[in-house]
C-alpha cells in the first residue's frame, strides 16, 4: 500500500492514499474516526474516486464512435496511482493523467486533479477534470466516501438520520442486482419530508439513488451524537449505500450513473455524461464539516 499523505488543522486530520487518491481516514483532535473501518467481511473500500464513469456499463463496455472498450464498474481512477503534485500542512493535490493504459479502455486525453484542503473542522475535496486533448471529452464523476455508522459519540446506530437541505418527495431509482444497471421507472421514496431514517433494510436491493436531487447539502448523524454536514454544490445526483450489517454508510454525490437497462447508445449520449471542449475543465466539490459531541 502506498504511504499515506496526512494533512491537518487544529481540529481535524485527514489521511489520503495516493493509490486512487482515496481518503482513508478523517479524525478529530481527540482521535475519533469518522470514516469506515473497511472491514473486508463487508467492503474494504474507503472513499474511491469514480472516473470516468459512475456505476456499471452494460457488459462492462464503453461504446464510442462504434468502438467498444472494456471498462470496469466505476472506472479506472480508483485503481490508479496518482502523483502528489502539491503538499502543505493542510492541503494536498494529486493528479492522474492519461497513459497508454488508460487509453486502452478510454480513448481520450485528460488530467484529473484531486485536491484535499482542511480548514478548521471542514475537509474540502475538489475534483477538477481537464480536457488536455484536441477533441471533446465525455465523462462522468462521483465521490464515494464511506462514513462511520454509527458516528463516534455514543448515539445509537438506529437513531442516525440523513436530513436533506430541502424536501425530497421524488421517486428514487434502484439497480438490477446481477448487472448493476439502472432499473426502469422509480420507486416511492423512503424520505419523509427532508428526513431519511437510516435502516440496513433499505439497502437489501443495493443503493438508493436520486437522479434529480433538489438538495445540494445534507446533515448525517443522530441527536446526542456527532454529525457531519455534507455539501456537494456541483453534483445533481446522489447515491446512499451500504452492505447491510456493515459499520459504514456511503453518501455519494454523483454526476452520472450506471447504464439504464437496455441502453445501447454512444457513451457521449448517455444521461449524466458531461462533455468538455478541448482545453476545458470542470470542478466538482464535496465539503465535509465535522461536528463532534
Domains of the chain by start residue, with CATH: 5-291 (2.70.98.10)
Output the furthest CA–CA distance in the chain (Å, rounded): 56
What average pLDDT does the segment 27-49 reach?
Answer: 97
Q: Which three cell numbers stand for residue 48?
A: 474511491
Q: Which three cell numbers stand for residue 177?
A: 442486482
Q: Is the pLDDT assigned to residue 1 strictly greater than 50?
A: no
Torsion sign over Cα 138, 181, 98, 105: negative
Q: Which three cell numbers stand for residue 213?
A: 436531487
**Residue pLDDT, tens place only, 210-262:** 999 999 999 999 998 999 999 999 999 999 999 999 999 999 999 999 999 99
Q: Is the pLDDT assigned to residue 21 strictly greater than 70?
A: yes
Phi, psi angle pair for 205, to nearest 5°: -105, 30
Q: What is the 3-state secondary structure (H, E, C) of 184-223?
A: CCCECCCCECCEEECCHHHHCCCCEEECCCCCCEEEEECC
Q: Is the pLDDT assigned to residue 280 strictly greater than 90?
A: yes
* CB-facing half-sphere around the CA of 239: CA atoms within 13 A: 26
Integer Cα distance of 43 and 245 in angstroms = 11
Measuring CA to CA, which residue among 152, 151, 145 is closest to residue 198? 151
What percent of the chain has pLDDT above 70? Answer: 99
pLDDT bucket at 178, cuts 50 / 70 / 90: confident
What average pLDDT does the segment 138-161 reach?
Answer: 96
The pLDDT value given to residue 2: 57
Torsion of CA 171, 196, 49, 66, to 10 degrees: -10
Integer Cα distance of 180 and 172 in angstroms = 16
Any idea what the Cα angle at residue 170 is, between residues 169 and 175, rounded to 5°?
A: 130
Place of cell 444497471: 181
The pLDDT value given to residue 177: 87
The 10 Å Cβ neighbour count of residue 184 is 10
Mean pLDDT of the chain: 97
**CA-CA distances (angstroms) from residue 123 to 231, 261, 278, 292?**
11, 36, 31, 14
Question: Do residues 68 and 107 make contact, with C-beta atoms less than 8 angstroms apart?
Answer: no
Q: Is the pLDDT assigned to residue 51 strictly greater than 80?
A: yes
Q: Which helix (H) or strand (E) holds 100?
A: helix 100-103
pLDDT bucket at 117, cuts 50 / 70 / 90: very high
Integer Cα distance of 49 and 18 in angstroms = 11
Q: Which three cell numbers stand for residue 194?
A: 427532508
Integer Cα distance of 293 and 289 in angstroms = 13
Measuring CA to CA, which residue among 121, 149, 150, 155 is closest to residue 225? 155
Q: Which helix (H) or strand (E) holds 268?
A: none
The pLDDT value given to residue 154: 86
Amino acid at each position: 500500500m502506498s504511504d499515506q499523505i496526512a494533512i491537518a488543522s487544529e481540529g481535524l486530520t485527514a489521511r489520503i492514499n495516493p493509490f486512487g487518491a482515496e481518503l482513508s481516514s478523517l479524525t478529530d483532535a481527540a482521535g475519533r474516526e469518522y470514516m469506515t473501518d473497511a472491514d473486508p467481511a463487508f467492503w474494504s473500500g474507503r472513499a474511491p474516486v469514480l472516473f470516468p464513469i459512475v456505476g456499471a456499463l452494460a457488459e462492462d463496455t464503453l461504446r464510442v464512435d462504434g468502438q467498444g472498450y472494456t471498462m470496469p464498474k466505476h472506472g479506472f481512477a480508483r485503481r490508479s496511482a496518482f502523483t502528489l503534485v502539491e503538499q502543505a500542512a493542510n492541503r494536498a493535490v494529486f493528479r492522474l493523467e492519461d497513459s497508454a493504459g488508460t487509453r486502452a479502455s478510454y480513448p481520450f486525453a485528460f488530467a484529473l486533479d484531486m485536491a484535499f484542503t482542511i480548514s478548521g473542522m471542514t475537509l474540502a475535496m475538489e475534483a477538477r477534470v481537464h480536457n488536455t486533448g484536441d477533441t471533446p471529452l465525455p465523462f462522468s464523476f462521483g465521490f464515494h466516501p464511506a462514513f462511520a455508522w454509527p458516528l463516534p459519540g455514543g448515539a445509537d446506530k438506529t437513531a442516525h438520520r440523513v436530513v436533506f437541505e430541502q424536501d425530497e418527495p421524488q421517486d428514487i431509482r434502484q439497480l438490477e442486482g446481477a448487472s448493476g444497471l439502472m432499473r426502469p421507472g422509480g420507486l416511492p421514496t423512503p424520505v419523509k419530508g427532508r428526513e431519511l431514517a437510516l435502516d440496513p433494510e433499505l439497502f437489501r436491493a443495493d443503493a438508493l439513488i436520486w437522479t434529480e436531487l433538489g438538495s445540494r447539502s445534507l446533515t448525517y448523524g443522530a441527536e446526542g451524537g456527532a454529525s457531519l454536514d455534507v455539501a456537494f454544490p456541483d453534483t445533481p445526483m446522489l447515491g446512499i449505500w451500504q452492505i447491510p450489517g456493515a459499520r459504514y454508510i456511503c453518501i455519494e454525490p454523483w454526476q452520472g450513473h450506471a447504464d439504464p437497462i437496455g441502453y445501447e447508445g454512444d457513451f457521449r449520449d448517455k444521461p449524466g455524461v458531461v462533455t468538455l471542449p478541448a482545453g476545458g475543465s470542470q470542478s466538482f466539490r464535496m465539503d465535509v464539516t465535522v461536528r463532534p459531541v
